[in-house]
Structure 1
Amino acid sequence: MSDNKTLAPITIEAVVNAPIEKVWACWNEPEHITQWCHASDDWHAPFAENDPKTGGKFKTTMAARDGSFSFDFGGIYDEVKTHESIAYTMEDGRKVSIVFTADGNKTKVIETFDPEKENPIEMQRGGWQAILDNFKKHTESV
């Protein structure tokens, strides 16, 4: 089996029908993160903490609604440029970057992440895209 360094990064994206200020707030404020950070309706995010600055840390607990399983998703910010981009390193060493591009009342969000080697690439892409789609839905509805 190949190691993470040989797997190509995965990129997902969404266009959110909201201005950059609202998108940024929904992406970074814990009270919003707990509303969108899950891949399917049988999961939720009961806890989130976030310090969105270079060197800051974040942690979100993702849990099955039936209580059967949960895990913490976290890392340290390598670089945060307000209303522009975020780069972080997950606890397992994988890298993630998010670019926010404002266009009036729309904001394009492009997220690129290093895949892990335990699950198929398409499963990872689908899971991360589902979370991004939930983010879009939440941001457009608040």
Structure 2
Amino acid sequence: MESNTVTVSSIIEAPIDKVWRLWTEPDHIKQWNHASEDWHTTEAENDLRARGKFRSRMEAKDKSMAFDFEGVYDEVLVNQLIQYHFEDERRVHISFVSEGEQTKIVETFDAESMNPLELQRQGWQAILEHFKKYVEEN
């Protein structure tokens, strides 16, 4: 039986305080939260606390498709951990590990059933790589 859990990770060339801030502040989320250059995030809301909600409006730049990416936080430990769940109860665990002037981010998520696991892994990894590039350039 195939696991429905997927893990992606990246090492960011920036200290953890900066990584955390750019990961969690809505104005920054709108700058990096996309899997490809033909998509963007037009709105972002983030109530970063246990039982707080988040929402990002993701849209194709040609306006052909759009969806809301949203969930509820289960646990937030500043500069360390974010855990949340979606409406369908799938869970996401994100760890932030300080390694001096670098920060390692590891995201583990329950995959959805509509798309192949590898496609989901590629999409989440691409978003993480856009985040890495955004942090390292700002």
TM-score between both structures, scaled by the size of structure 2: 0.97
2:119 counterpart residue number: 123
Are 2:50 and 1:58 equivalent residues in the alignment?
A: no
Quick one: which of 11, 15, 18 aligns to 1:19? 15
In 1, distance between residues paired with 2:62 and 2:118?
26
2:135 counterpart residue number: 139
TM-fit CA distance, 1:26: 0.6
In 2, distance between residues paired with 1:109 and 1:9?
16
In 1, distance between residues paired with 2:88 and 2:38?
25
CA-to-aligned-CA distance 1:65-84 (integer Å, 9 cap, x gap): 00111000000000000000
In 2, distance between residues paired with 1:105 and 1:54?
28
TM-fit CA distance, 1:8: 3.0
In 2, distance between residues paired with 1:29 and 1:91?
22
1:103 counterpart residue number: 99
CA-to-aligned-CA distance 1:25-62 (integer Å, 9 cap, x gap): 01000000000110000000000000111111000000
Point out 4+ residue stretches in structure 1 off by more than 6 angstroms.
Answer: none
1:89 counterpart residue number: 85
Quick one: which amino acid aligns to residue 62 of structure 2?
A: D
TM-fit CA distance, 1:96: 0.1
1:28 counterpart residue number: 24
Q: Percent identity?
A: 51
1:74 counterpart residue number: 70
Quick one: which amino acid aligns to residue 137 of structure 1?
A: K
Structure 1: any 5+ residue segments left out of the alignment? none
In 1, distance between residues paired with 2:87 and 2:33?
17
In 1, distance between residues paired with 2:118 and 2:60?
21
In 2, distance between residues paired with 1:107 and 1:94?
26
CA-to-aligned-CA distance 1:105-134 (integer Å, 9 cap, x gap): 100000000001110110000000000000
TM-score between both structures, scaled by the size of structure 1: 0.94
Secondary structure at the residue paired with 1:87? Answer: strand
